[in-house]
């Protein structure tokens, strides 16, 4: 009777949030396909880059005009402009330009010609292009994954002992889905992924675990697990935490939006990542955590009931054996 | 606590906070002179070491040539080992934000973040600015060198306690390979002076007296080795003469952040807005308690800034700044947890001071676990090789430690100080009795 109620409530929960869950799954699927087919759009830190310098010979108050022309020149020769830095000062001011993709020497020389013509400078002021090897090594990817796995293991152990097995499993599933969803969004939108993206992945896991524990803590505090009303438990906990959860993530989203609108182009990609981080955390906490918790608590309870029934059966059998022997 | 004592404490803490805020955000020149010179104070924020994505970076491009006799086939491996060695030397000098890359087909690019002043640039130039192969000779014109870079096994700085002077003595040890022990002993048999050269330039000289270098080890001592760090700098300088490839500086100078000029300003503005929203939220939702929390949060921010700028290995890049926000979110959430608990108890007709006391003890484990958990995450991140994750780890580790102090100690103290002014009226904290709470 109890188990049937659990299953029923899960079905109802799924029906109620069908649309959102389908969108989550669709995101994951499309992201996985894009990732498998095209990989991530890594920036210069991860994939290496090509670099050349342009001596502009003056301390311009606004470099945007130069950069726009240089960017156009690079992109017209199939290059992929990434970023620039200013080096030196006064007459010796140079712009260090970075772009992705390997270009032929002919394409590189075309870029130099266009820049020399557009900026009215001599061709000697535009240096030869050099490839710069990535600053991030393969081991960094492994260590990032290791950090996330360690955080997940520690937090799920904590969740198991403080709350229950269902909470521990939910923590793992929610974090994994959150990470995958974040990577999927990055893959689908072809966002430029740099070193800060690694840290973002850890942050997303941290926030998901943090909010999930708030939800579990509320259930624990109210002793909902002493009763059998699990769907009520998760609903009430969600209700208690929803405002805080939404307020904070909307705050993070707005900060990202502010940076997208106002900050220089180089930060816009990261700002977009911040916005998606807030969206992913919110989606995971509002839909994935309660849903997977309900599923896992059902499974755990079913198992508990079965183990209990088996134990009772063994006791009954041994008692009846004893009775017969007597 | 009496009302009078509370008032006194509030005044003392307010003065302390003003001092902390000035120390954190204001630059000024001291209104007095020392030996006729005016000195200026640089605030915590401007002393923060910024990573190359949001701060100035010193960059050097070296052309890397094969030494005579080396096979071209090994060139790529030697270029990798040379760039890694340069990175190690800089890191052992305390530069935490260093990247080393292969540049073009025959060069190496070194970029060092955390550049605050011209002195920082000069330090790097002194250390690795003009690398040349090291050689040792007993002749002042570097003729007939008795040992070179390839003959050195290892170089390190160490110290021992001298009982005569009752002080530590710092030494740079140059340990040569076993194969050259005899030839070095022969060359220095008459004692005299050993000259150390980088290329054709004399770096330093050592007086051996009448004794020879018999065991293949040189112990360099100097009055300028006032600390282990200074001796270590000389050891590192010698190491630059032992690199596998011969380096020539092609280009050097400071470049603007990779995220663009003014990127750090924009990120700081966004962070300030976020923090301000947090303050407004606390004040609107909990009124008096919100003000108390903001008072505490200002201490949290200033103490964190002080620690972040004073710990040598900490550098702030974009990930670190996000770490700052995460730690801020966690501490604000801790306040909300405590106040919500108090609200709940007050709702059941408990007196305000009892509600606050119970709330603090009931949320003790939660806030403690949350901050210690964050500290563990920070520590794990610190062990990772990625600079971005390390920066995040440092910030989170330091700030969760400060957060524990602020939540467990300062918050208790401030609430104790507040209760003599209002121990009964929950409305001043937006608390309502009998289920009127939102």
ipTM of predicted assembly, 2 dp = 0.75
Structure tokens at A18: 């069908």
Q: Going residue by residue through chain A (326 aa), what tens digit of pLDDT does each one get?
A: 344 555 666 666 667 667 777 877 887 888 888 888 877 777 777 778 888 888 887 665 667 778 888 888 888 888 888 788 888 877 778 888 888 777 888 888 888 888 888 877 777 788 888 888 887 766 777 777 888 888 889 899 989 998 888 899 999 999 999 998 888 888 888 777 777 787 788 888 888 998 898 888 888 877 666 666 777 788 888 888 888 888 888 888 888 888 888 777 767 778 888 899 999 999 888 888 888 888 888 787 777 777 777 777 777 777 777 777 76
Verify whether the Cβ–Cβ distance A251 to B376 is below 8 Å.
no
d(CA B307, CA B296): 17
Q: Tell me if A284 is assigned to some domain.
A: yes
Q: Provide the CATH number for the domain around residue A56.
A: 3.30.70.240
Give contacts of B 210-249 with A, CB under 8 A: none
> Quick one: pLDDT at residue B284?
93
**What is the distance in angstroms between the Cα of A240 and the nearest Cα belonging to chain B?**
10
**Does A320 reside within a domain?**
no
Predicted confidence at residue B244, as pLDDT, reads 85
Name the band, by pLDDT with cuts 50, 70 and 90, for residue B398.
very high
Shortest alpha-carbon distance between residue B259 and chain A (Å) = 5
Which residue of chain B is at minimal alpha-carbon distance from A210? B370
pLDDT 10s digits, B56-109: 888 899 999 888 777 777 888 899 899 988 988 888 888 878 888 899 888 999
Search chain B and give the residue with CA nearest A156.
Answer: B373
b/e per residue B47-71 (b: at least 16 CB within 10 A): ebbbbbbbbbbbbbbbbbebeeeee
Per-residue model confidence (pLDDT) at position B438:
44
Residues A149 and A101 in one domain: no
Query: How do strand B107-112 and strand B98-103 relate by DSSP bridges?
Result: antiparallel
Query: Does B382 touch chain A if contact means CB atoms closer than 8 Å?
Result: no
Q: Are residues A85 and A58 in the same domain?
A: yes
Which class does domain B3-29+258-429 fall in? mainly alpha
Which residue among A132, A166, A199 closes a domain? A132
Question: Do residues A101 and A242 share a domain?
Answer: no
- Residue A59 pLDDT: 63
Does residue A198 lie in a domain region? yes
**In a domain? residue A321:** no
What would the mean pLDDT of B338-363 be, rounded to a whole number?
Answer: 87
- Order across the sheet with B147-148: list the strands: B147-148, B134-137, B192-198, B201-209
Q: How far apart are CA B290 and CA B293, in angstroms?
A: 5
Select the residue from B115, B319, B331, B333 to test the A interface by mutation, using most A Cβ atoms within 10 A. B319
Statement to judge: residues A31 and A19 lie in one domain: yes
Q: A15: domain CATH number?
A: 1.20.1640.10
Smallest CA–CA distance from B373 into chain A, residue: A155
A71 and A212 within one domain:
no
Q: For residue A245, give the chain B residue with the closest CA.
A: B333
Given an 8 Å threshold on Cβ–Cβ distance, is B387 in contact with A196?
no
Contact flag A147-B59 (C-beta cutoff 8 Å): no
Q: Report percent pLDDT > 70 for chain B.
A: 99
Tell me, yes or no, if B20 comes closer than 8 A to chain A by beta carbon. no
In this complex, do B260 and A264 lie within 8 Å of one another by their Cβ atoms?
A: yes
Residue A230 and residue A173 share a domain: yes
Name chain B contacts of A55, Cβ cutoff 8 Å.
Answer: none
What is the rounded CA–CA span in Å between residue A83 and residue A96?
8
Q: Which residue has the tokens 């010796």?
A: A92
Write down the pLDDT at residue B18.
Answer: 96
Q: Looking at residue A60, what is its pLDDT?
A: 59
Q: Do B389 and A144 touch (CB under 8 A)?
A: yes
User: Is A314 contained in some domain?
Assistant: no
Q: What is the pLDDT of residue B295?
A: 94
- CB contact under 8 Å between B388 and A267, yes or no, is no
Asked if B322 and A266 come within 8 Å (Cβ–Cβ), the reply is: no
Contact yes or no for B101 and A147 at CB 8 A:
no
CB contact under 8 A, B386 and A195: yes
Q: Would the CB atoms of A139 and B373 count as touching at under 8 Å?
A: no
Closest chain B C-alpha to A258 CA, distance in angstroms: 7
Query: If you average pLDDT over every residue of chain B, what do you get?
Result: 85
Residue for token pair 């303050």:
B279
What is the extent of the structural domain holding A58?
Answer: 49-132
Partner residue facing B262 (CB), from A252, A264, A274: A264
DSSP sequence for A199-210: HHHHHHHHHHHH
- Are A303 and A196 members of one domain? yes
Q: Name, in order, each residue with C-beta under 8 angstroms of A14's C-beta and a sequence gap of 6 or more.
A: A21, A291
* Chains A, B: CB pairs < 8 Å: 161
Instruction: State whether A169 and A258 are in the same domain.
Output: yes
Do residue A69 and residue A216 come from a single domain?
no
| Cβ–Cβ below 8 Å for A259 and B266 | yes
For the segment B276-295, the average pLDDT, to the nearest whole number, is 92
A171-175 long-range CB contacts below 8 Å, 24 or more apart? A171/A209, A171/A212, A171/A213, A173/A288, A173/A292, A173/A296, A174/A208, A174/A209, A174/A212, A174/A284, A174/A285, A174/A288, A174/A289, A174/A292, A175/A148, A175/A205, A175/A208, A175/A209
pLDDT at A2: 42
Minimum CA–CA partner of B323 in chain A: A203
In a domain, A240, yes or no: yes
Asked whether B332 and B370 are in contact (CB, 8 A), the reply is no
Same domain? A62 vs A11: no
Count of structural domains, chain A: 2
The answer to whether residue A272 sits within a structural domain is: yes
Q: What is the DSSP string of B221-241?
A: E-TT--SHHHHHHHHHHHHGG
Residue B327 has pLDDT above 60, yes or no: yes
Asked if the Cβ–Cβ distance from B263 to A255 is below 8 Å, we say no
B256 touching A, CB under 8 A? yes
In a domain, A164, yes or no: yes
* C-alpha span between B421 and B100 (Å, rounded): 60
Both A144 and A67 in one domain: the answer is no
A185 and A242 in a common domain: yes
Chain B interface mutation, best of A148, A202, A261, highest count of B Cβ atoms under 10 Å = A202
Residue of A nearest to B111 (CA): A135
**Cα R_g (chain B), whole angstroms:** 29
Contact predicate A46/A136, CB 8 Å:
yes
Segment B39-56, tens digit of pLDDT = 888 889 888 888 878 888
Test B59 with A258 for CB contact under 8 angstroms: no
Longest dimension (CA), chain B: 98
Would the CB atoms of A144 and B370 count as touching at under 8 Å?
Answer: no
Q: Where are the domains of chain B?
A: 3-29+258-429
């Amino acid at each position: 009777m109890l188990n049937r109620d659990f299953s029923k409530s899960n079905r109802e929960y799924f029906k109620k949030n069908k649309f959102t869950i389908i969108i989550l799954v669709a995101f994951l699927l499309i992201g996985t396909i894009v990732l498998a087919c095209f990989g991530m759009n890594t920036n210069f830190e991860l994939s290496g880059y090509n670099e050349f310098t342009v001596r502009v010979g003056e301390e311009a108050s606004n470099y945007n005009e130069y950069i726009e022309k240089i960017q156009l020149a690079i992109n017209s020769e199939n290059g992929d402009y990434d970023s620039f830095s200013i080096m030196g000062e006064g007459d010796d001011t140079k712009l260090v330009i970075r772009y992705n993709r390997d270009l032929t020497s002919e394409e590189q020389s075309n870029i130099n010609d266009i820049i020399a013509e557009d900026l009215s400078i001599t061709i000697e002021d535009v240096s030869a292009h050099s490839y710069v090897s990535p600053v991030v090594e393969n081991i960094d990817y492994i260590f990032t994954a290791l950090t996330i796995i360690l955080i997940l293991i520690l937090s799920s152990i904590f969740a198991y002992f403080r709350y229950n097995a269902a909470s521990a499993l939910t923590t793992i599933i929610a974090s994994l889905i959150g990470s995958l969803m974040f990577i999927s969004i990055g893959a689908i939108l072809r966002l430029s992924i740099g070193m800060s993206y690694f840290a973002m992945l850890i942050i997303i896991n941290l926030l998901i675990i943090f909010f999930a524990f708030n939800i579990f803590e509320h259930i624990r505090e109210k002793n909902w697990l002493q009763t059998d009303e699990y769907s009520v438990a998760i609903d009430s906990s969600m209700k208690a935490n929803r405002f805080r959860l939404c307020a904070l993530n909307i705050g993070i989203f707005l900060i990202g939006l502010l940076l997208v609108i106002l900050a220089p182009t180089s930060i816009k990609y990261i700002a977009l990542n911040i916005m998606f981080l807030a969206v992913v955390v919110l989606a995971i906490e509002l839909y994935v955590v309660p849903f997977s918790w309900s599923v896992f608590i059902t499974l755990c309870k079913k198992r508990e009931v079965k183990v209990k029934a088996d134990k009772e059966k063994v006791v009954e059998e041994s008692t009846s054996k004893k009775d017969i022997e007597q | 606590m009496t009302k009078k004592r509370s008032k006194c404490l509030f005044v003392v803490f307010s003065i302390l906070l003003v001092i902390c805020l000035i120390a954190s955000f204001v630059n000024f020149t001291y209104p007095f002179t020392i030996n006729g010179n005016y000195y200026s104070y640089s605030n915590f924020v401007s002393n923060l070491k910024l990573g190359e994505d949001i701060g100035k970076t010193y960059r050097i491009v070296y052309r890397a040539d094969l030494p005579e006799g080396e096979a071209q086939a090994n060139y790529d491996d030697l270029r990798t080992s040379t760039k890694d060695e340069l990175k190690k030397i800089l890191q052992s000098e305390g530069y935490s934000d260093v990247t080393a890359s292969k540049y073009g087909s025959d060069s190496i690019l070194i970029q060092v973040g955390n550049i605050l002043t011209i002195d920082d640039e000069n330090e790097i130039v002194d250390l690795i600015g003009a690398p040349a192969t090291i050689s040792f000779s007993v002749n002042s014109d570097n003729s007939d060198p008795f040992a070179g870079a390839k003959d050195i096994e290892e170089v390190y700085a160490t110290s021992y306690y001298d009982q005569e002077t009752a002080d530590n003595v710092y030494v740079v040890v140059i340990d040569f390979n076993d194969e050259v022990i005899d030839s070095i002993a022969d060359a220095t048999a008459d004692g005299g002076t050993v000259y150390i050269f980088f290329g054709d330039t004399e770096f330093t000289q050592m007086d051996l007296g009448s004794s020879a270098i018999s065991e293949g080890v040189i112990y360099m001592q100097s009055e300028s080795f006032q600390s282990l760090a200074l001796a270590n700098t000389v050891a590192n300088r010698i190491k630059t003469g032992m690199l596998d490839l011969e380096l020539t500086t092609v280009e050097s100078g400071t470049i603007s952040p990779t995220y663009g000029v003014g990127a750090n300003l924009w990120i700081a503005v966004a962070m300030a807005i976020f923090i301000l929203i947090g303050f407004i939220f606390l004040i609107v939702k909990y009124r008096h308690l919100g003000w108390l929390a903001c008072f505490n949060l200002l201490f949290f921010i200033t103490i964190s800034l002080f620690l972040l700028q004073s710990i040598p290995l900490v550098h702030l890049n974009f990930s670190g700044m996000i770490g700052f926000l995460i730690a801020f979110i966690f501490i604000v959430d801790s306040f909300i947890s405590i106040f919500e608990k108090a609200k709940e108890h007050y709702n059941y007709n408990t007196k305000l001071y009892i509600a606050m006391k119970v709330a603090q003890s009931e949320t003790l484990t939660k806030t403690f676990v949350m901050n210690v958990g964050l500290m563990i995450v920070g520590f794990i991140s610190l062990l990772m090789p990625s600079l971005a994750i390390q920066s995040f780890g440092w910030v989170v580790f330091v700030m969760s430690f400060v957060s524990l102090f602020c939540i467990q100690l300062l918050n208790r103290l401030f609430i104790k100080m507040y209760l003599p002014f209002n121990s009964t009226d929950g409305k001043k904290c937006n608390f309502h009795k009998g289920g009127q709470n939102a």
